[in-house]
A and B are shown apart, each in its own frame.
Chain A
């Protein structure tokens, strides 16, 4: 079993993508980051379909940072599919969103999100959030074993 410290960032907004990557870098989180620009791409990556056909499915992200508002397939649907699939159902999923709607929080946790983090407007706060997130999920947290297909 190969241990991999990859992060899957599902984010459609290029600004947020850039800021997230910057915040990770700033906080010396140098793990590989795979960016999916919409829900469909994220699922393709996870299940080795579409552009990612033939990918080694033994390589699964340490943590998935998942936005809710996404084109094509939204974040909650992505989460639902992740939890429905035997290979991916145990992957840690952190909802990283602009929303602080109660119903989004309820829906996220109901579908099995491991965490829900609201992106602050203040970049310093945002950066701090990313730092703590990285420390927790990549260092402290013991990720589940990869399920072999």
Chain B
């Protein structure tokens, strides 16, 4: 299967939507944040400009009143200026500041900066220039009604441009102001002559006569551009980052997928190899099994042939020897009869040999059938049988009762048959013969033994005891085929046990064996 699953396209589409939404969100958030910061900055700048302007105006006012007026009165006292002389261009700080501001705005305009609106607005000014507009009238009334309000601020929009508008109470009528701003009739004559009409008169003590009305441009159009560029840039940066991250992730996933696929391929290859090796092994096992089965079959037919074909001629030899003795006995001398009896003895011996060989070859080659076997009981039965064959013999059997093992009952009986039979045989010439069957512990394991005090054997030949057809005694001394112990050893080994013999010539023998 490829890395693209059927749902891959819609999944990646959804992924791009997510990226787009995240990018837009970041752009908007950054934009909004920057806008807010820039707005506050611009507002602050406008506020500072207004403050600076007002302070500059205040300075001008003070200079006129504190420096120019004393200088003028001094000149007047010295008679340098006519007693009745008055000119607002020289003596009115309001006039001078207003016109100074007018010049200032002209300079600003020349410098390409927006004008700063400035007015000392009054409800009833002497100079109509200072007449409050609708908003200013409203604000003057508001300040008069709410004395605790010390300022008014508002961002206003005129012709698509934002301005910070600030209004501050400017002149509060004092008692001393009433001389010139109270009832017109009480005002100095020069003043009355200069300002006809009621403008600037009829004020009341405590009232706010004028406000400073200022409007400074908030030139943040540029900032909007910066904000747009900056936020878009941030958004693009995030987008690029996300796409890069996404690409990187995809690459990682692809690389890892490739690795995993490689691993899978390698593992399959390894599995295939193991499978092939197994097949080869199985084939070999089958071959070997077949070979072993064939060998077993051959062995079986060999044993069968031995059983039939070797015994049949023997029977002929024995039978006709007997016939010879019976039919022609009177014509044979003693030597001839002796020879014939030897021929017959040889036949019988060979018959036994063949039977023992068959027994050895017939031991099961497969699994043995295990069950609990009471060896003490079996040994007792065998002892009785042996006693019956030669009732004249005096042999003491010592059989430890209750020795039980798990194994094949028939085969274990054959073991005891052979071992006790041997003991019986080899104690034939021993006075006070004693045969013992028992068990003892060796290295934490139960070991069984059959002991006799008979002819014994030379330990130098101990390793030859268990070989087939190996005999340590001549047939004249003790009869036997030399197959019994080979059979015993084979049975014990088939049970996973061990057998060994200890003995000395003339001092008997002990056969130790274990059955696992």
Contacts and interface: CB of A to CB of B under 8 A. Distances in A.
Contact of B315 (A19, A99, A100, A101): A19
Interface residues of A, number: 19
B315 A121 contact: yes
Interface string A98-113: 1111000000000000
Contacts of A18: 319
B323 interface: yes
Contacts, number: 58
A13 B319 contact: no
Interface stretch (B58-66, B306-314, B374-382, B383-391): B306-314
Given A15-B312, A100-B307, A121 B351 contact: yes
A66 to B, nearest CB: 14
A99 B308 contact: yes
B318 A121 contact: yes
B319 A101 contact: no
A108 B394 CA distance: 44
Interface stretch (A33-41, A49-57, A87-95, A122-130): A122-130
B351 A101 contact: no
Given A121-B348, A122-B348, A15 B320 contact: yes
Contact of B318 (A22, A101, A123): A123
Interface in B329-376: 347-348, 350-351, 358
B325 to A, nearest CB: 10
Given A22-B323, A122-B351, A124-B322, A16 B307 contact: no
A15 B319 contact: yes
B307 A121 contact: no
A27 to B, nearest CB: 13
Dominant secondary structure of chain B at its interface with chain A: helix
Interface residues of B, number: 20
A98 B323 contact: no
A98 B311 CA distance: 7
Interface string A56-94: 000000000000010000000000000000000000000
A19 B304 contact: no
A124 B351 CA distance: 14
Nearest to B349: A121
A123 B311 CA distance: 12
A107 to B, nearest CB: 13
B335 to A, nearest CB: 21
B314 A123 contact: no
Interface string B229-266: 00000000000000000000000000000000000000
Contacts of A120: 315, 351
B175 to A, nearest CB: 154
6 contacts: A19-B320, A100-B307, A101-B304, A121-B348, A123-B315, A123-B322
